[in-house]
Amino acid sequence: MNSSHFLNSSSALQIGKLRMAKRLVCAALIGVQAMSSWAQTPCENGMAGQYPCDGLDLMSVRSFEELGGTPPGNGNDCWGWSRNGREFVLFGRSDGTSIVEITDPVNPVMMANVPTASIPSLWRDIKVIGDVAYIVSEAGEHGIQAIDLEQVLTMEPMASVPLLSWYTGIGNAHNIAANPETNFVYGVGTDTFNGGLHIVDVANPSNPTLAGGWEQGYIHDAQVVIYNGPDDDHVGKEIAFAFGGFSGCYIIDVEDKTDCQTLSSLSDEAWVYSHQGWLTEDHRFVLVNDEIDESTGIAPLTRTWVLDVQDLDNPSVIGFHEGTLGVTDHNLYTHEGLAYEANYYAGLQILDVVDPEALAFEQVAFFDTNPFSNQVGTSGGAWNVYPYFESGNIAISTQSHLFVVAPSEPVSGVQESASAAALDVRSGDGIIYTTLGASQSQNLKVFDALGRLKAEWLALPEVTMQWMVSDWDPGVYVVRSADGAQARFVVD
């Protein structure tokens, strides 16, 4: 991606409030067929067709019915899978899972339908390890369905997809986490282990086996990683960052699946329901959403909470970033310095994670999947987002549709050249301090959030230099060295 491009986020504040009364009419597809041809709808003057937007073009939108759903059911979660340059969305429905090819994002193709393992349910969740998808649902006796996705590559659209395995060690599960590095999946909110972590070894996906569990409290969602952050005591261990709803957040050492250890827990008096969260890519912070604080009136605007987890045994709550709309937030994920937030009636909002420790975020793009209203509630708008396709396409699932959007131009947080010298920038009291870790002097340039050159100076190697910025406009600025090093600072 071109890291020098920044979108104008000021228009997002205005366009986010635009609403239109026109409804989208989609003809349902019946039987086995590829979906009808569309044209890409660019985001122009704040709209992509009827959808308010900023920086994201509409590639396609398909209804729950077009994706194999049976009314009056609903859509819910989504995830993604890629192989040999082809890209697929796994779209959860109340009555099953749709596998949709979006290699041509303007003309998605419904490749396969995986029926629910028991009865329909509002909730279904999917994660992928390698070429295998693992599917859970709140439906009783559903267990974990495992699907070999490679078979989709050679099948005709809507052919039958047999299960690779069906794990029945659980009945219902609210969600499932997966760690592709270790081949373990983690059922959460299940009818086992007090609703905590139900850990399944899927090294042999044809024969999943119970590995252990954690039962000290209900878990609503989790991210499980091989920890590679600043806490040397835990580097290289498998760690679960778990979100327990009304009970707050937990950090759990799950290296020994038969003896999981709670390293710490967190709560805050302003939290109502710790719903879901995701680590920043350096494993220093966790971004968390609270699904109920807006509806209870505690949060007048959508809040993204930031946890400092640089010491896993002693984490802390830094505070929250407040968005521009008073809508309920749902799932979020981080990718290349950005946070992708599926915020129900506000749709997808993309934030540049400028400085989480300073609670500095900058909205750089959005796409409103529900143009009819901005309101608190969970019955409409964006449920989930999948931002990890190499093509840059982004999948957004709602309870009624699957959207595929793509950046109008490359959207990215600041990325450094691999060969660039170290550049340290600090700010405070109207002054920025720059230190260039280079062997020779280089020009430094400062750009504002619109990419306009603000200042330029010669930096001496290994010398801390001071620059007055007290008369600059408030906002986010980027410093770049001649060899490609970059850093950001905020003028309040």
Looking at the predicted structure, is the pLDDT value of residue 489 above 90?
no
Q: Is residue 236 part of a domain?
A: yes
Which residue did the predictor score with more confidence, 127 or 489? Answer: 127
Please identify, among 340, 375, 407, the residue that sits at the C-terminal boundary of a domain: 407
Q: Do 69 and 116 contact (CB within 8 A), yes or no?
A: no
Q: Residue 472 maps to which CATH number?
A: 2.60.40.3080
Q: What is the pLDDT of residue 22?
A: 26
The tens digit of pLDDT for each residue in 137-151 reads 999 999 999 999 999
Query: Does 109 share its domain with 56?
Result: yes
Q: Residue 234 maps to which CATH number?
A: 2.130.10.10
Q: What is the pLDDT of residue 417?
A: 39
Q: What is the pLDDT of residue 432?
A: 82
Segment 197-216 mean pLDDT: 98
Contacting residues for 431 by C-beta, under 8 A, at least 6 apart: 466, 467, 468, 469, 470
Segment 413-434 mean pLDDT: 65
Q: Do 428 and 470 contact (CB within 8 A), yes or no?
A: no
Query: Does 171 share its domain with 314?
Result: yes
Lowest-confidence region among 185-189, 413-417, 475-479: 413-417
How far CA 386 is from CA of 174, 223, 371, in Å, comes to 19, 15, 21
What's the full length of the chain, in residues?
A: 492
Contacting residues for 49 by C-beta, under 8 A, at least 6 apart: 41, 58
For the chain, what is the domain count?
2
Q: What is the pLDDT of residue 110?
A: 93
Q: Is residue 43 part of a domain?
A: yes
Query: Does 392 share its domain with 306?
Result: yes
As a whole number of angstroms, the distance between CA 350 and CA 426 comes to 25
Location of structure tokens 């299940």: 190
Query: Does 284 share its domain with 345?
Result: yes
Looking at the predicted structure, is the pLDDT value of residue 414 above 50?
no
How far CA 342 is from CA of 28, 200, 297, 328, 403, in Å, comes to 25, 28, 20, 9, 12
Looking at the predicted structure, is the pLDDT value of residue 294 above 70?
yes
Looking at the predicted structure, is the pLDDT value of residue 21 above 80?
no
Location of structure tokens 């129900």: 344
- What does the block give as tokens for 378? 């969970």
As a whole number of angstroms, the distance between CA 77 and CA 128 comes to 13
DSSP code of 11?
H
C-alpha torsion 315→318→319→323, nearest 10? -100
Query: Does 208 share its domain with 127?
Result: yes
DSSP code of 234?
T
Location of structure tokens 């309920």: 328
Q: Is residue 415 part of a domain?
A: no
Q: What is the pLDDT of residue 422?
A: 75
As a whole number of angstroms, the distance between CA 391 and CA 64 comes to 24
Query: Does 36 share its domain with 177?
Result: yes
Q: What is the pLDDT of residue 162?
A: 92
C-alpha torsion 390→184→143→212, nearest 10? -160
Lowest-confidence region among 7-21, 63-77, 207-221: 7-21
Which residue did the predictor score with more confidence, 33 or 97? Answer: 97
Q: Is residue 413 part of a domain?
A: no
Looking at the predicted structure, is the pLDDT value of residue 88 above 60?
yes
Query: Does 350 share its domain with 462?
Result: no
Q: Is residue 253 part of a domain?
A: yes
Query: Does 440 share its domain with 348?
Result: no
Q: Quick one: pLDDT band at residue 421, thresholds 50, 70, 90?
A: low
Looking at the predicted structure, is the pLDDT value of residue 452 above 90?
no
Query: Does 277 share its domain with 330?
Result: yes
Q: Is residue 444 part of a domain?
A: yes
As a whole number of angstroms, the distance between CA 154 and CA 148 comes to 12
- What does the block give as tokens for 294? 């807006």
Q: Is residue 123 part of a domain?
A: yes
Segment 365-370 mean pLDDT: 96
Domain that holds residue 22: 10-407
Query: Does 203 share its domain with 328?
Result: yes
How far CA 414 is from CA of 6, 121, 336, in Å, comes to 10, 41, 8
Looking at the predicted structure, is the pLDDT value of residue 231 above 80?
yes
- What does the block give as tokens for 396? 């957004």
Q: Is residue 4 part of a domain?
A: no
Q: Do 489 and 477 contact (CB within 8 A), yes or no?
A: yes
As a whole number of angstroms, the distance between CA 355 and CA 337 comes to 10
As a whole number of angstroms, the distance between CA 97 and CA 90 comes to 7
Q: What is the pTM of this model?
A: 0.79
Query: Does 369 share its domain with 487?
Result: no
As a whole number of angstroms, the distance between CA 169 and CA 201 comes to 12
Q: Which is nearest to 182 in space by CA: 211, 214, 148?
A: 211
The sign one gets for the Cα dihedral 436, 439, 441, 447 is negative
The tens digit of pLDDT for each residue in 34-46 reads 333 456 899 999 9
Lowest-confidence region among 84-98, 440-454, 463-477: 440-454
Name the 3-class secondary structure at 468: strand
Q: What is the pLDDT of residue 8?
A: 35
Q: Which is nearest to 287 in space by CA: 198, 369, 223, 211?
A: 223
Segment 14-25 mean pLDDT: 29
Which residue did the predictor score with more confidence, 36 or 373? Answer: 373
Query: Does 160 share its domain with 203?
Result: yes
Please identify, among 407, 434, 465, the residue that sits at the C-terminal boundary of a domain: 407
